[in-house]
A and B are shown apart, each in its own frame.
Chain A
Amino acid sequence: MNANFESIQKSLIQFLDSKRGKFPRFYFLPYEDLLEIIGMGKDPKPLNKHIKKMFAGLHSLEAEPAPKGTQTAKYYIKCILSEGNPPEESIDLDAGAAEETKLLVDQNCEEWLKELIERMKRALQRLFKVVHTDTNQQRRIREHSYMRNWIAQQKGQILVTAAQIEWSNMCREALASLEKLANVNPSSTSHPLKALKATYRKKCNVYIDVVEKTPGLTALDRKKLTALIIIEEHHREVIDKMYNTKTIRRNHFDWLSQLRFTLKEPDANDQHYFVTIEQMNSEFDYGYEYQGNQPRLVITPLTDRAYMTLTNALSMYRGGAPQGPAGTGKTETVKDLGKSLAFFVLVENCDGTMNPQYLAGKLAGLSSSGAWGCFDEFNRILLDVLSVIASMFESIFDCIRQGQGEAKACNLGDVPALVSKDAGFFITMNPGYAGRSSLPDNLAALFRPVAMMKADFRAIAKIELMSVGFKEAEVLSVKIVSIYDLMDKQLSKAKHYEFQMRSLKSVLRAVGAIKQSMPQLNETSVVIKGVRDMNLSKLLAEDVVLFDKMFEDLFPDCEEPEVNMDDL
Chain B
Amino acid sequence: MWENNIALITETLDLLMLATARWQYLESIFCGQPDIIRMLGEENAKFQVSNKVFKAQMSRINKEKNAYRALVAGVKDFIKVL
B47-A35 in contact (CB<8A): no
Q: Which of B22, B35, B43 is A2 in contact with, Cβ under 8 Å?
A: B22
Q: How many interface residues does chain B have, given as a range?
A: 20 to 34
A12 CA to B18 CA in the complex, in Å? Answer: 18
Bound complex: CA A40 to CA B34 (Å): 9
Whether A15 lies near B81 (C-beta < 8 A) is no
Residues of A within 8 A of B23 (CB): 5
Please give the residue numbers on chain B whose beta carbons come within 8 Å of chain A beta carbons, in ascending order.
Answer: 15, 18-19, 22-23, 25-26, 29, 32-36, 39-40, 42-43, 46-47, 49-50, 53-54, 81-82
Q: Is A39 in contact with chain B by the CB < 8 A criterion?
A: yes
Closest chain B residue to A4, Cβ basis: B50
Main secondary structure of the interface of A (DSSP, over half): helix
Contact of A1 among B32, B36, B39, B50 (CB under 8 A): B50
- Complex formed: what's the CA distance from A446 to B34 in Å? 46
Whether A2 lies near B18 (C-beta < 8 A) is: yes
A38 and B26 contact, CB distance less than 8 A: no
Which residues 423-451 in A have Cβ within 8 Å of B in the complex?
none
Interface of B is mostly: helix
CB-based contact A39/B18 at 8 Å: no
A99 at the interface (CB under 8 A from B): no
Distance in angstroms from B29 CB to nearest chain A CB is 6
15 contacts between A and B (CB under 8 A): A1-B50, A1-B53, A1-B81, A2-B18, A4-B49, A5-B19, A5-B47, A8-B43, A11-B40, A11-B42, A12-B43, A15-B40, A39-B34, A41-B34, A41-B35
Taken together as a complex, chains A and B put the C-alpha atoms of A11 and B30 apart, in Å, by 13
Name which residue of chain A comes closest to B50, CB basis: A4
Task: State how many residues of chain A have any CB contact under 8 Å with chain B.
Answer: 17
Instruction: Take A8-B47, A12-B40, A35-B29 as given contacts and tell me if A1 and B82 are in contact as well, using a CB distance cutoff of 8 Å.
Output: yes
- Additional A-B contacts beyond A5-B47, A7-B46, A40-B35 (8; CB < 8 A): A1-B50, A2-B82, A4-B49, A4-B50, A8-B26, A9-B26, A15-B40, A15-B43
Question: Shortest Cβ distance from A349 into chain B, in angstroms?
Answer: 27
Assembly CA distance A77 to B28 (angstroms):
29
Q: How far is the CA of A107 from the CA of B34 in the complex (A)?
A: 12
Binary B-proximity of A94-125 (CB < 8 A = 1, otherwise 0): 00000000000001000000000000000000
